[in-house]
Structure 1
Amino acid sequence: MTERAHFTTSDGERIAYYIDDFTDPWRKPPVMLLLHSAMGNSQRFYSWAPGLARHFRLVRMDLRGHGASSVPAADKPFDMARLVADVTELMTLLGLDVAHVTGNSAGGYVAQNLALQYPEKVRSLALVGSTPGLSPSARGWLTRIAEEGLTPFLTKTIAMRFDLATSDPGLVEWFLKQTAENDAGFLARFIGYNTTQDWSGELHRIACPTLVIFPGGETVGEANVYDLMRDRIPDVRMAEYEHMPHNIADMMPDRCVADILQFHRDRFGYPA
């Protein structure tokens, strides 16, 4: 009931995706696209899939340069339009005219831009720890990663991402192991590019119902950016996880799933 596959994009990259479907066989379920964070991959949604796949046909995609997707050459053009095109090409391949789209952190950057560029393709948005662009302060990470290495940097700054008082040490160890699998050169390019992007002035154009789940103790950028999302997205519901640092999708998966399901019940009448 989980399908693993790849497709080749129009610019020749190999993108991995996974379909999880545990819905009733006699129903035609709605589709939800899941887009993961930078330094992650679709496996980071392992704790989300059981709750969501009972009600949605889930499509999890590894962003280019992440997980089982190919890493673009250093001289290959790279921008947000290309990241969005990867999603639309997958939707076309799967025969999806429209989908609910859920994005964590940088996956939410892609989801927001998909909704801005192709509003007819996005039935709803759920954004978890995802602002309208990555804070320029993150450029400082790149210097430290180059000097110290990715895993040492993340280990030293792990409290920026996890509440160590409540997080399972095994989860933190697994996170560090997964991030170490990234291509360092592409990761620097990915992070660096996203620090140059800011579409906060375009948030008013997001036309679909939107859920923003955000950490009250945001440590990747500034928490007040979420106020802009509350004020500018026309049809938005805000859910604050008080005092939490950035990685709420990893630390609090059951709460995230429960809030997403409740949002869909309230706005679309399903799941029942």
Structure 2
Amino acid sequence: MKLNRIFKSKNFLLSVLLFFGSCRFLGIGSIPLEELKSKYANENSKFIRIDDVDLHYRDEGKGPVIVLLHGVCSSLHTWDVWAEKLKSKYRVIRLDLPGHGLTGIGKDLNGLELPQGVRTLDRFLNALKIDRFYLVGNSMGGYISWNYSLKHPEKVLKLVLIDSVGYAQPLPPMIALASHPLVSPFAKHVLPKFMIEKSVEQVYGDKNKVTQELKDRYADLSMREGNRTAYNYFFVMARQKFTNAELSEGIDKIRQPTMVMWGTEDEWLKYEYFGNWKKSLPKAAFRVYEGAGHIPMEEIPEVTVKDLENFIASE
């Protein structure tokens, strides 16, 4: 009888482990914040209350300030190599935007609106008493960056946009699927790991550089409580605005020295639309990375960070 109880208890425990394991594979439920912190926060991680969100950020190095903004479904970890190489000369500040990484979301989902992202960034930098800096943004972070530069031109010394949202174009496949009216109600609760992994492969030009560790990071952070709801909110917002010509209003009014970087194999924001930036910003510097995808600062960090440093140093 005792052996039977032990056997049953082991089977029960195994069933529980399999159940929660499958939940994580299917993207159901959440990974506790403390568990995520133990894996994805480090000695440089800090948290600051901005509005009703505990915003996760890292502030490293000394010197002129560089602020780095990641894209949708990403986190401040996308800048790891850049930060390591820059912090000997610069003060490098990067953050998990609301609904991403370890930051999570507030009570009001309207706080995720992209114009609100400009306000959140400004409140964050004011709290750190930073009023002059170089601003770099990728994808959604690029959209926030160039809009921030228009609203606060006196604060941004130079602007760098990496495969940035800016011009109307077709939706990326994952966003088109997740934002579909029949899928969207479920996507805020269920985001299978295989879909996250497929998306990571899509944003890299060289698929051989996509490691399991990289896939795990993106998948794990998507399961921080509130993040899937935020992703879904951004996807639905993209469906509403991504194909609207008004998306690019103001780009031609950017006055800061600007550099635009792009990967030729970007599957999310196609290289064929890169020419629009040259038309709107004829005085900007442009860098094209043959074979790179949507996040060249993560895929080929050594090349891209050198271009950043040269741009900052230029007159």
Q: Secondary structure at the match of 1:199?
A: helix
Looking at secondary structure, tell me which structure has more helix per residue.
2
Further displaced range: 125-134 or 49-58: 125-134
1:173 aligns with 215
1:26 aligns with none
2:288 aligns with 240
Residues 1:205 and 2:253 are matched in the alignment = yes
Q: Which of 115, 119, 122 is the equivalent residue of 1:88?
A: 122
Percent identity of equivalent pairs = 20
Residues 1:34 and 2:68 are matched in the alignment = yes
* Alignment deviations for residues 191-226 of structure 1 (CA, whole Å, 9 cap, x no partner): 322441553231111111111110112211332322
Q: Secondary structure at the match of 2:314?
A: helix
Tell whether the 8 Å contact from 1:2 to 1:20 is kept in structure 2 after alignment: no
Unaligned runs of 5+ in 1: 24-28, 268-272
Tell whether the 8 Å contact from 1:230 to 1:236 is kept in structure 2 after alignment: yes
Q: Secondary structure at the match of 1:32?
A: strand
| Structure 1 pair 91–39 and aligned structure 2 pair: CA distance change class (3 A) | same
Q: How many residues align?
A: 260
- What CA RMSD, in Å, does the superposition of the two structures yield over aligned residues? 2.6
2:13 aligns with none
Moved over 6 A (4+): none
Q: Which of 146, 156, 171 is the equivalent residue of 1:122?
A: 156
Alpha-carbon shift at residue 174 of structure 1 (Å): 4.1
TM-score, length-scaled by structure 2: 0.74
1:8 aligns with 49
| Structure 1 pair 75–175 and aligned structure 2 pair: CA distance change class (3 A) | closer
Residues 1:185 and 2:229 are matched in the alignment = yes
| Structure 1 pair 154–75 and aligned structure 2 pair: CA distance change class (3 A) | closer
Q: Which of 128, 131, 135 is the equivalent residue of 1:97?
A: 131
TM-score, length-scaled by structure 1: 0.84
Residues 1:256 and 2:285 are matched in the alignment = no
Unaligned runs of 5+ in 2: 1-41
Residues 1:18 and 2:54 are matched in the alignment = no
Name the larger-Rg structure.
Answer: 2
Tell whether the 8 Å contact from 1:105 to 1:128 is kept in structure 2 after alignment: yes
| Structure 1 pair 165–224 and aligned structure 2 pair: CA distance change class (3 A) | closer
Tell whether the 8 Å contact from 1:65 to 1:71 is kept in structure 2 after alignment: yes
Counterpart amino acid of residue 153 in structure 1 = M
Residues 1:160 and 2:202 are matched in the alignment = yes
Distance 1:76 1:200 in 2: 21
Tell whether the 8 Å contact from 1:80 to 1:110 is kept in structure 2 after alignment: yes
Q: Secondary structure at the match of 1:132?
A: coil
Alpha-carbon shift at residue 179 of structure 1 (Å): 5.0
Distance 1:178 1:230 in 2: 37
Residues 1:151 and 2:193 are matched in the alignment = yes
Distance 1:36 1:157 in 2: 15
